[in-house]
Structure 1
Amino acid sequence: MSSKSSTQHLSRVNIIRKKHIRLTIAALIILGLIILAGEITSYDHIDGLLSIPAAISWLFSNMLFSAGTLANFPTVLRLLWETILISIVSTTTASVFALIFALLGSQLTQVNTFLMYVAKLVASVSRNIPVVAWALILVLSFGTNSATGFLALFFATFGFLVRAYIETIDEASSDSIEALRATGATYPQMIFKAVLPGSMPQLFSWTLFMIETNIRSATLVGLLTGTGIGYLFDLYYKQLNYEMVSLITLSIVVAVLIIEAISNRIRREII
């Protein structure tokens, strides 16, 4: 018995030792990549760390807004609300189209193989073009207006949600679909009796997640399309009005935190 326990102990020690060696090698590789990246880009990591206190001091001395700046707060709230609405509308609209393409692209709910690959290809192209690139492309066609921001968020959201919805459908509905197929159920019956009831909580969760993400992205899109809170941020930033920049940034952060808290609460209730 003692020999067997001793062997098991040695085996555990060897396993732990191998894990430590792997972790050490991984840490050394990461450290080497950091040093190599610094050499290639001529970036001094030590100078970067030493500059942090001075940067923090500059922020506190230049970006603390005064009472006079608060007079513009209603304008900030109005454009922030506009940005939030564009994010919500673009996400919810994209989710409807994403669900249709996800049903066509999922192996469990595909109509035929050709449409499945077409749906995945369209979603992949849409997903792999960054939202900033979408905004720049669409500005050339639609100009600087809210429609451009809506479409940029829509296309980027659509591609992401199609993939997320396909994975959700494949994971949550396989058993139910197989059971209904065995009973001779029609395609609409499989969708409304198995896919949607089994997947809806997770699909809704992904939609809420994208609303949170798009509120952040909408600020950046607004810089390019001249709309919403992003336009206001860009306007005051170019004027070097750091007090207004600070007020706008703080408003965005608070809005995102509030919406994230609401979203998390809803997700806990539905999942």
Structure 2
Amino acid sequence: MELFFSWPYRANATQCAYLGPGSAPAPPTPPRIYRLGHLDTLVQLPGRVLSIHQGSRNVYEKLPYKTWLPPEPETEEQEIDLEAEERQRLRTAGPTVKRVGKTLILRPTATKQPLRLVNNPVEDYDKNVSYEYVGSLPEIKQWLLSVHLYEGGYFLLIDQRTGRRTRIWSPPAVAPDGRHFVCGNSDVLARYEPSGLQVWHVDGPKLEKLWERQTEWGVTGPRWLDNKTILFEQDFFDNGDVDTRVVRMKVVP
């Protein structure tokens, strides 16, 4: 008689040699990432916890996304020419956006006067500022700008109808139906900037921040799986280095 055994995992030859009659195999040891439980939840509001699930990288890489900015230089000797990058974007921005010297001029449709944003590249921590045109988000009718300060900076959305300004963490990823967008940020190594996630609701020209959470892990490249769920690369500090995994989270009820 031939006996066939079905094991819950594939044992190697050494393990099989020590399994006697009636012995059960030892449970497999999960990878370290699955023992880092603090990476699997996010407290949205007191009393409400969002679950973070393992995501498929193959699915993630097939989801649509937009690259707004060039990649960071790999070495300190390499520098990005911000003015050249902006000139290239302005060529396709249309007549409502233009630059004249240090002034970026935007023309919202519902205002009589254009919006003028003037660069002030002075050696003063509190007054130094420059505005870089990044692009247009026609699905939510916003312009995206990168604001550079003496140290660091932030991103700015400007409504193409009213000129209303909204400060955000990063270039937004807009849901397919255009009703929500998320901004993720990751700086888990240097910690100069906040790491975490912002979730916004779009109601015509009104942008409402539903919630934001700063976390010890970072959010890189969020992409929408559907109108409620995002996949993103979760960066975390472990064993003296930054590691990354693709995860899935439902951010809209």
TM-score between the two structures when normalised by the length of structure 1: 0.24
Q: Which has the higher strand share?
A: 2
Q: Which has the higher helix share?
A: 1
Higher radius of gyration, 1 or 2: 1
Structure with higher RCO (Cα < 8 A, 6+ apart): 1
